[in-house]
Structure 1
Amino acid sequence: MAMSSRLSGGSSGGSGRTRVGRYELGRTLGEGSFAKVKFARNVETNENVAIKILDKEKVLKHKMIGQIKREISTMKLIRHPNVIRMYEVMASKTKIYIVMEFVTGGELFDKIATKGRLKEDEARKYFQQLINAVDYCHSRGVYHRDLKPENLLLDANGVLKVSDFGLSALPQQVREDGLLHTTCGTPNYVAPEVINNKGYDGAKADLWSCGVILFVLMAGYLPFEESNLMALYKKIFKAEFSCPPWFSTSAKKLIKKILDPNPSTRITIAEVLENDWFKKGYQPPVFQQEDASLDDVNAIFNESTDSPNLVVERREERSTTPVTMNAFELISKSQGLDLGSLFEKQMGLVKRETRFTSKCPANEIISKIEQAAVPLGFDVKKNNYKLKLHGEKTGRKGHLSIATEIFEVAPSLHMVELRKAGGDTLEFHKFYKNLATGLKDIVWQSGDEVKDNEVNSGAGGVSS
């Protein structure tokens, strides 16, 4: 952490940064329909954190207050070396801010992207940490329900950290029968009973996802992969998959017991912990149970809006230039940038964000993006150096919406980031390819790229 704090310390430069309590907010790390996650810095300690920002109005509309309070209270009490820490919770009149540990090692699956599949011993080491985290949270009554690659992060020492525990399934509800009823998650990782929507046991469903993750770590590809959704579901319902020849017999046996389509005969976590393959080189987690206070959680869910605990989002003077990126943000941006194309084809993974650099002035970039997006059927909303593009047509997962932000990296060099804020990732990719054609005049190319593109007359060196 020392290096990252030092690097990020230099830029509180008042370029339109927002302050919430003692945190200065930076770039957006990700967003979904209910929440946005931003990089932030504690100005008192200089420590980097991630802040999940929930929209109070949406939370109220979905009658989620009770559930969110429960989930947050439990997460606040969870202290486990393989689960992202939740430090504190704040609220303003319109938003809830959840302050969490920020880890710098990238996603676990980036390792496969760069090196290919993992050796069995290394895969087992991560699987043991994953099971430790999942088992501990289950013992506290918290289920993840959306375990997938982007929720598995590594810290600077290569220790696995599961993120979004207890927060991934916020709009979900447990019904009177005590089972969860929501189809959520990435289809490839989701247990058959979840897709079936007959109600399911969160512990059994989480274990199924862990089994898929173990398979991917050791194989380098997904056990269930079909471009057609119904064909994919059929395979999952029957647990139709085969292990590659390099899996050891005992690993194959364990994976088959985990990927059992019938939850009542599926192996349990307690049985996994006793499995010989799993136990090899196993080190039980070491941690102290510290006392954590729930005062902040209770305060923000206090019925009275005049609660003295409310924070205010203060923006330092409105900026007339794009946000300048400091060194640390740039470094953390570039992690996981270099996903091999082979990996994307094999894994069926498409990134949810993409970026390019440009030497044009920021306002020229903005108007070029607008000119390129409108004919593709997008409604454009502008706010300083940010754009929200909203698709007019309904796609496979609702309307495609894209958030665009421009950062100044050097005096005459901007980085433009496009992030999928809603809709289908494959549709986002297709949109980006079309958009790239309209932007080729403004994308900065290195000499080599210019030569390549003259040969290929392609889409202008846009890197994703």
Structure 2
Amino acid sequence: MSQPKIKRRVGKYEVGRTIGEGTFAKVKFARNSETGEPVALKILDKEKVLKHKMAEQIRREIATMKLIKHPNVVQLYEVMGSKTKIYIVLEFVTGGELFDKIVNHGRMSENEARRYFQQLINAVDYCHSRGVYHRDLKPENLLLDTYGNLKVSDFGLSALSQQVRDDGLLHTTCGTPNYVAPEVLNDRGYDGVTADLWSCGVILFVLVAGYLPFDDPNLMNLYKKISGAEFTCPPWLSFSARKFISRILDPNPVTRITIAEILSDEWFKVDYKPPVFIEKAETSLDDVEAVFKDCENHHVTEKKEQQPTSMNAFKLISMSKGLNLENLFEDQGFKRETRFTSKSSANEIINKIEEAAKPLGFDVQKKNYKMRLANVKAGRKGNLNVSTEIFQVAPSLHMVEVRKARGDTLEFHKFYKNLSTCLEDVVWKTEDDMQTQETK
């Protein structure tokens, strides 16, 4: 028999496996227990945030991201805080990374690449208009939803330690080297808009070529190639695509193509569909302010719960025959235990047993899907004590063991007979059980 599983909850979210990890944060799969909706839970360590003096920058960017609701940007739903952690609840995107699509299928046709690039520019343009810069755009940060639409992830959250100085420029070198703009490497400050556009150009090149425009095992040689925009477009590209990519991968940020010029480019405009969505102005930022003001009244509850112990399904089903009272009889007299199976949740079963036991005069104690029912009145052999334990057969099937721990066996049988009447709606009845009932 395996040990009970530990289930972690943060507020209303059940937390599952780790799906990503970075320097300042870990991302876990989670599920909203109220709606069943899957989400991605980004967890930041408050101590690290304060140590690197990032609190105000993160607060500002999270607040901005919560206001950004664009079909091509991963949605930020809410922010929660505890004494030690900041929890960012994000849209869970199921289609994987664009990077995986390139690795598995190689380069794309110009038409397919153009569709993804159009969605990327839509997202980048929208976020830039709100003062949010990604600073680490690459295929690994571009996700695909169920319908194959592009979703930019971590927009405004990937490079949290960067600060805009008085000159209006960013000064920290960041991002993945192969996708970084030349001006980011020279350490004289750069504009987040033009730097992001350079990365978009590299991404487009990778989509249509199947390889990187700038690549070298030696980092200094790589920086030299980037700074001089030393790349060659593959021969299979159309003339308009090559010309377009060259305008984006211009090493001079001043003369580099702008988003307005991209939107009017002939190659880009083919089958272009501007995004259609409605912005909601009533988005509340109260949760963001509460987290960063560290209001204890708003701290989210963190707790770990044990799940029912798992057992072999075939063994349990063979042991259990529903609520048939004949299970309590042996040739020598009464059994001291019985079992039944249920498709109800473990918590629902516990609540039902408690509701049934208390009116019968039993005091109820609960711990880790085990219950101790103690009759407050003494019987023929002292107080009747009954133990129950719930085992998980499958995600949607449980077995409940009801056992006399102390007292008279006959009284236990009478108790179980009353209990069984109250539990009829939670017991799983097999076809054999149903037929037996019909013949009675």
TM-score for the superposition, normalised by structure 2: 0.68
Give 1:114 deviation, angstroms.
2.0
Shift, 1:171, TM fit: 1.2
* Distance in structure 1 (CA, Å) of the matches to 2:14 and 2:204: 38
Is 1:296 the equivalent of 2:287? yes
CA distance 1:240–1:98, change in 2 (3 Å): same
The partner residue of 1:312 within 288, 298, 301 is 301
Q: Is the contact between residue 4 and residue 309 of structure 2 (CA under 8 Å) also seen in structure 1?
A: no
1:263 partnered with 2:275 = no
Tell me the equivalent position of 1:28: 18
Superposed CA offset, 1:281-328 (max 9, x none) = 0000010102311111111112xx45311012211149999xxxxxxx
Q: What SS does the corresponding residue of 2:53 show, helix, strand or coil?
A: coil
Deviation of 1:181 after TM superposition, in Å, equals: 1.0
The aligned counterpart of 1:17 is 7
Q: Distance in 2 between matches of 1:146 and 1:63?
A: 21
C-alpha distance in structure 2 between counterparts of 1:118 and 1:193, whole Å: 29
1:40-79 Cα offsets, whole Å, 9 max, x none, are 0111111100011011111111111111111011100001
Query: CA offset at residue 109 of structure 1?
Result: 2.1
Mapping of 1:101-116 within 5 angstroms?
101-116=91-106
Contact 1:39 1:49 in 2 (8 A): yes
CA RMSD after TM alignment: 1.7
Instruction: Give me the whole-angstrom Cα distance separating, in 1, the residues matched to 2:85 and 2:73.
Output: 24
| Corresponding position: 1:205 with 2:189 | no
Say yes or no: does 1:53 pair with 2:43.
yes
Name 1:173's counterpart in structure 2: 163
> What is the alpha-carbon distance in structure 2 between the residues aligned to residue 182 and residue 29 of structure 1?
27
Query: Using the alignment, how far apart are the partners of 2:308 and 2:190 within structure 1?
Result: 49
CA distance in 1, matches of 2:41, 2:230: 40
1:228 correspondence with 2:218: yes
Q: Separation in 2 of the partners of 1:318 and 1:236?
A: 53
CA offsets 1:320-364 (integer angstroms, 9 cap, x no match): 99xxxxxxxxxxxxxxxxxxxxxxxxxxxxxxxxxxxxxxxxxxx
Aligned ranges 1:41-190 → 2 under 5 Å: 41-190=31-180
SS of the residue corresponding to residue 6 of structure 2 reads coil
The structure with the largest alpha-carbon Rg is: 2
Q: Report the 3-state secondary structure (helix = DSSP H, G, I; strand = E; otherwise coil) of the residue aligned with 2:69.
A: coil
| 2:185 counterpart residue number | 195
Classify 1:14/1:252 alpha carbon distance in 2 versus 1 (closer, same or farther; 3 Å).
Answer: farther
SS at match of 1:316: strand
Q: Deviations over 1:383-424 (max 9, x none)?
A: xxxxxxxxxxxxxxxxxxxxxxxxxxx9xxxxxxxxxxxxxx
Q: Alignment partner for residue 240 of structure 2, among 247, 250, 254?
A: 250
Q: In structure 1, what is the Cα distance between the partners aligned to 2:166 and 2:54?
A: 16
Superposition deviation, residue 85 in structure 1: 0.2
Give how far 1:173 is off.
Answer: 1.1
**1:16·1:319 contact (CA, 8 Å) conserved in 2?**
no
Letter in 1 for 2:286: D
CA–CA separation in structure 2 for the residues paired with 1:207 and 1:103: 24
Q: Distance in 1 between matches of 2:307 and 2:219?
A: 46
**TM-score under structure 1 length normalisation:** 0.65
Q: Is the 8 A contact 1:14 1:316 kept in 2?
A: no
Residue 178 of structure 1 deviates from its aligned partner by: 1.2
Give distance in 1, aligned partners of 2:199 and 2:112.
19
Displacement of 1:204 in angstroms is 0.1
- Shift of residue 198 of structure 1? 1.1
